[in-house]
Amino acid sequence: MKSIYLIVFVALVFSCKNETKKAAESSKETVEVKDSLIYPGEKHFKSIKQITFGGDNAEAYWSFDDKQIVFQSNNKNWNVGCDQMFLMNVGETFEDKTPPMISTGKGRTTCSYFLPDNKHIIYASTHLGDEKCPDTPLRKNGKYIWPVYDTYDIFMADLEGNIVKQLTNEKGYDAEPTVSPKGDKIVFTSTRSGDLELYTMNLDGSSVTQITDELGYDGGAFFSPDGTKIIFRSSRPKTEQEIKEYKELLAEGLVEPTEMELYICNADGSDLKQLTDLGNANWSPFFHPSGKKILFSSNFEAERGFPFNLYLIDIDGKNLERVTHSDTFDAFPVFSNDGKYLAFSSNRNNGGGRDTNLFIAEWQD
């Protein structure tokens, strides 16, 4: 999520780190600039606008022409019981109105993305398994977990919410799809091999190809602007005990996402490299428009699991830079296709509650 399951990180306390890495500038000042949503030190934000005002809102993805955004929300005021997909025109805000829902309203959905025609989206949904919202376990044996629903499949829908094609129908988890900027491939996560691996397929669901094969949860993948590379996050167990715990949780449809690092590879899975080695949870990566940097969310500087902030890093793992200066949660950064704007989710300006809202910042390098 990419992940997925937005509510997860907002109010949880992870295991403490005895030493906080000092690789990035770590100012903890979070006093808001008067009349602004931009915190001191957030030099890459020229301006910022809040889009939603309640619930958990995340994974906002731009149409190829940058005119619309599709996102997921569980805002109870919008008559949903768990995450569903909503559509907005760029420039709209939703403080006193409800955006159109373009998923079925059944089951739970995650990870929508526009297709190149700007007239269709893809997303994952559990509605064929059960039309009700599935249970969402968040802790097991004192540890923080994510559910990996085996009823998730990937669907194509039009902007009126009509499903026009089911793209996956394998047994197990198929979710987290995103589309190459070249408009030719989808990358997604699946358990069809028995582990959580990355796959690519054509836009019509054909030519499914596995591109990762190491034990661990590989997910939240995105293509580079030229479509030649893929960035993703993974919680890859190393020790015998870690491997045992990972396999036991996965057998129950669960994963523990508190230790994740970023990996980069070619679009066919070749030349795989670990990009970060920061500790804690490094996730929701997205390529900078230049293709030379990655913007991602991390709590590696946190001693109690939070805050999560956004960071930039070169694709060779150098020049780590802190971008946001929140004391709570910033994640799911996604650049517009023209590179001028950044959509992301944040707890800022929520009155001290747990709501996670969407923001659009005007980006400056």
Q: Which residues contact 294 (CB under 8 A, 6 or more apart)?
A: 231, 262, 264, 275, 285, 286, 287, 288, 312, 313, 314, 315
pLDDT of residue 291: 98
Q: Lowest-pLDDT range, 93-97, 118-122, 139-143, 327-331?
A: 139-143
Contact in structure between 161 and 218 (CB atoms under 8 Å): no
E strands, 52-196, in order: 57-62, 68-73, 84-89, 109-114, 120-125, 139-140, 143-144, 146-147, 153-158, 163-166, 174-179, 185-190
- Residue in the structure block whose two tokens are 């054909």: 206
Q: pLDDT tens for residues 151-197?
A: 999 999 999 999 999 999 999 999 999 999 999 999 999 999 999 99
Nearest-angstrom CA–CA distance, 343 and 246: 32
3-state SS class at 341: strand
| Mean pLDDT in residue range 338-359 | 96
Q: pLDDT tens for residues 126-142?
A: 999 999 999 987 787 77
Does 335 map to a domain? yes
Q: pLDDT tens for residues 294-330?
A: 999 999 999 888 899 999 999 999 999 999 999 999 9
pLDDT of residue 75: 97
Does 153 map to a domain? yes
Calculate what percentage of the chain has a pLDDT beyond 90.
86
Domain that holds residue 91: 6-363
- Note the pTM of the prediction, 2 decimals: 0.91
pLDDT of residue 344: 98
Nearest-angstrom CA–CA distance, 320 and 292: 13
Does 1 map to a domain? no
Q: pLDDT tens for residues 257-268?
A: 999 999 999 999
Nearest-angstrom CA–CA distance, 291 and 243: 34
pLDDT of residue 33: 41
Residue 23: pLDDT over 50: no
Return the higher-pLDDT residue of 100 and 23. 100
H or E, element range at 352:
none
pLDDT of residue 19: 37
Residue 198's CATH number:
2.120.10.30
Q: How confident is the model at residue 16 (pLDDT cuts 50, 70, 90)?
A: very low
Q: pLDDT tens for residues 267-291?
A: 999 999 999 999 999 999 999 999 9
pLDDT of residue 24: 47
Identify residue 178 by its one-letter amino acid code: T
Residue 32: pLDDT over 70: no
Q: How confident is the model at residue 36 (pLDDT cuts 50, 70, 90)?
A: confident
Cα angle 259, 260, 264; round to 5: 160
pLDDT of residue 144: 86
Cα angle 141, 279, 110; round to 5: 65
Helices (H), ranges, 174-301: 240-251
Report the number of distinct structural domains present in the chain.
1
Does 218 map to a domain? yes
Taking all residues of the chain, what is their mean pLDDT, rounded to a whole number?
91
Contact in structure between 34 and 337 (CB atoms under 8 Å): no
Backbone angles phi, psi at 141, to 5 degrees: 55, 40
Return the higher-pLDDT residue of 35 and 122. 122
pLDDT of residue 303: 85
Contact in structure between 359 and 344 (CB atoms under 8 Å): yes
